[in-house]
Amino acid sequence: MIISLYSVRLVLASLGTVDYGIFNVIMGVVSMLSFLNAALTVSTQRYLSFYQGKKDFTKLIKIFNHSFYLHAVLGLGLVLLLELFGGYILNHYLTIPADRMDTAQIVFHLASLAIFFTFISVPYTASINANERMIFIALVTILESVEKLLLAIYLTYMKGDCLLVYGIGMGLITVLSFVMYFIICMSRFDECKHFTLRGIDGRLLKELGGFASWNLVGSITAMSKNQGLSVLFNIFRGPAVNAAYAVANQVSAQLNFFSMTMMRSINPQIMKSEGAGDHERMLKLSSIACKYGFLLLAFFSIPCIFEMPKILQLWLKDVPQYSSNFCVMILLAMLFDQLTVGIHSAFQACKFVKESSIYVGAVKLLILPLGYLLLKQGWSVYYVVGIYALVELTAGVVRIILAKVLMDYSILYYIRNVICRILLPVVLTCAICLLVTVMTDAPYRIVVTLLVSAITFTVSSYYLALPSAERSYFRVLIKEKVLRHG
């Protein structure tokens, strides 16, 4: 996380606001068309984990093989689609300076090629997740961060077109990551070792494709709310606002890293519980995921929200306009989403993806027409990101109601074990941070805010957010670690 944040600082300084905005809006267009990637990732992991719960090894091999077929074919189709229509989008819909258009087109081609390698790596990352060998994901992620840092350092010393070099470098990093995942899976996991191009099962392909097609709707929503807004900002306000929006997304993505890692760890257990027929444990794990996902993100987000201008000033040499408020509102949106993130996993486990994608996805997609209307009427971009946060909150409410209808999920249980548990630690920590920022204006205030927030949130969460059984578990876990390393 630290390496990635520092790399962004170097890249922004080397490319400048305009080129950095161009790169991110191009990647936004590509990402909008690569939403299949996320949809199939969840599908593959769900089926692998589910049949691990059933202990059906033969089925595991077939699922991995057929998942690879889907990813390879769809990846090639998507690259073809991008190459056919990408140039038209760049020239007619995006605001890119004329002198940067040639470079932007090359970067677009490189990005679309990288999408293919991202696609075919999904079955391998899903297999690692399903087998709960998170150390391998961690190793590849760390190596990716180091590679991006080296690329960023190189940009600071080179003379020439930094945008072009950055596009080439990011493409090569994607290919290297695929190679590492491929080697790990082929040497470690039996379902990957038995890969074959023979014996295609049309019924299984249809089942995987059907499940993924409804996941696709949810992935369209995720891409639309992020990259769709990026395109709208580019059309109505230009690359400078794209740079600010990109900075906000970088901050939120890095702060959400721990929460995402927790979900990556708990998702296989949610799927395996349902596969083993333990529906009650699956729902309980989903609620735990909601609570801990929110707490992990809030631990980092609350002090950052109160000290965002100073953090951006220390992090970036030149802070793009709008960045601070963008960061705050997007962090709030992510906190709202984390409140129900475990319920989304429960929908996946129970194969209620269709209903979740239709109803929750419809609410989240509202950000695009609302954002378009506001920008068209000349409203400030701040109102757009504010609506973005409110849409996420509304989608969370819809998700809870849907869980009650489809899975007999207790709303009262959710309020008592998630909302009531996290409310007091959040209110108390926000009050302390507010007092510090209002009463102190010293240069070292940010250190005080971070330290006081960390202590307050950790202690209050331990005693207020965790029931006695979970506190006992943590005490035993800590003692075991101390004895093991003592």
DSSP class per residue in 191-256: HHHT--S----HHHHHHHHHHHHHHHHHHHHHHIIIIIHHHHHHHHH-HHHHHHHHHHHHHHHHHT
| Euclidean distance between CA atoms 21 and 238, whole angstroms | 9
- Confidence class for position 486, pLDDT limits 50, 70, 90: low
Residue 466 backbone dihedrals phi, psi, to 5 degrees: -100, 125
Confidence at residue 466, expressed as pLDDT on a 0 to 100 scale: 92
Q: Which two tokens stand for residue 479?
A: 């003692």
For residues 53 and 467, which has the higher predicted lDDT (pLDDT)? Answer: 467
Distance CA 32, CA 15 (A): 23
Query: In which element (H, E) is residue 477 found?
Result: helix 468-485
Residue 235 near residue 226 (C-beta atoms within 8 A) = no
What pLDDT shows up at residue 477?
Answer: 83
Listed residue (390, 410, 392) closest to 400, CA to CA:
410
Asked whether the beta carbons of 2 and 183 are under 8 A apart, the reply is: no
Q: Are the C-beta atoms of 382 and 436 separated by less than 8 Å?
A: no
pLDDT at 156: 86
* Spatial distance between the Cα atoms of 451 and 447, rounded to a whole number of angstroms: 6
pLDDT tens-digit profile of 334-376? Answer: 999 999 999 988 998 888 888 888 899 889 888 889 999 999 9
What is the rounded CA–CA span in Å between residue 12 and residue 175? 23
Q: From 302, 295, 301, select the one nearest 465 (Cα to Cα).
A: 295
Query: Which one-letter DSSP state was computed for residue 131?
Result: T
Give the rounded percent of residues in the chain with a pLDDT score beyond 90. 28
Determine the pLDDT at residue 36: 58
Query: Cα dihedral angle (279, 285, 287, 292), rounded to 10 degrees?
Result: -170
Return the amino acid letter for 393.
Answer: L
Mean pLDDT, to the nearest integer, of 399-412?
Answer: 93
Domain extents for the chain?
1-212
CA dist 142 and 125 (Å) reads 15
